[in-house]
Amino acid sequence: MSTAKRHIASLRDEYAEMTRQRIVAAFVETLEDEAADDISMAAVAKRAKVAERTIYRHFKTRAELFAAAGEWIEDNVFSYIPFTSPDELPDIFRKLCKRFDRHPHLARAIAMTRAGRRVRAGFRRHVIDQHHKAMAPLVRHLPAKEVRQAEAVASYLNNVLAWNAMREDFGMSSAEIADAIEWALTTLLKDVRQRDAAAARSGKTGKSPRKRSTAAKEQA
């Protein structure tokens, strides 16, 4: 391929990516403004200033567009904050509350609408996986049921759903919500550590009978 053709191809790719990003941004803006359970592709196309068929050239299915919108929101609006310990969660949630405050309509749409839940499904799975890894050192001796309960509660507390419920149902400010979540998470983690320590002392771990039997034979 000649230099001129490569340059043209590069420009074409850049334009396609710009169009793609414009469509995603228009989708997010529509979700934020309308807070509807379903988002009209015609409305997105109008806002992005493209033909509706152009959307489907860049996104073969609505699911692809929803996933791209979730990634865009995570990268450009609420920004995922990585963590390695659950003790970091109260501070992380406090930062997220400030970001939710800057985009309250979008935060509510993600929490409450069917379209919003589909958008956040991808990055919520990522956050849940991160919770699982971070909680692992704290729950080594707990039975699987209690591990799942602890992870579920921690994940729910570190969530736009908690922010939205406390804001709408109790009229709490983000600072008050962050304080409440910090108290709840601190209480949860203290209890989890105590339960895990008690299970370790008693020798009743979360391992299956087969694994415990194998471990006992190896020690013998």
pLDDT tens by residue, 63-99: 899 999 998 998 888 887 889 999 999 999 999 999 9
Average pLDDT over residues 145-167: 95
Q: Is residue 215 predicted with pLDDT exceeding 50?
A: no
Q: How big is the chain by its Cα radius of gyration, in Å?
A: 23
Q: Is residue 17 predicted with pLDDT exceeding 90?
A: no
**Residue 186: pLDDT band with limits 50, 70, 90:** very high
Q: What angle do CA 185, 189, 193 make, to 5 degrees?
A: 175
- DSSP H helices, 35-113, are 41-48, 52-58, 62-76, 89-102, 104-112
**Residue 12: pLDDT band with limits 50, 70, 90:** low
What is residue 217's predicted lDDT score, i.e. its pLDDT? 45
Mean pLDDT for all residues in the chain = 87
Q: How far apart are alpha carbons 200 and 143 in whole angstroms?
A: 11
Lowest-confidence region among 1-10, 68-77, 101-110, 154-163 = 1-10
Q: Is residue 2 predicted with pLDDT exceeding 80?
A: no
Q: What angle do CA 20, 3, 9 make, to 5 degrees?
A: 15
Average pLDDT over residues 91-108: 94
- DSSP H helices, the chain, are 3-34, 41-48, 52-58, 62-76, 89-102, 104-112, 114-135, 144-157, 160-170, 174-202, 209-219
What is residue 86's predicted lDDT score, i.e. its pLDDT? 94
| Both tokens assigned to 9 | 């191809």
**Residue 107: pLDDT band with limits 50, 70, 90:** very high
What is residue 15's predicted lDDT score, i.e. its pLDDT? 76
Q: What is the pTM of this model?
A: 0.79
Angstrom CA distances, 164 to 129, 202, 209, stand at 22, 41, 43
Better-scored residue on pLDDT, 191 or 116: 191
What is residue 218's predicted lDDT score, i.e. its pLDDT? 43
Better-scored residue on pLDDT, 3 or 215: 3
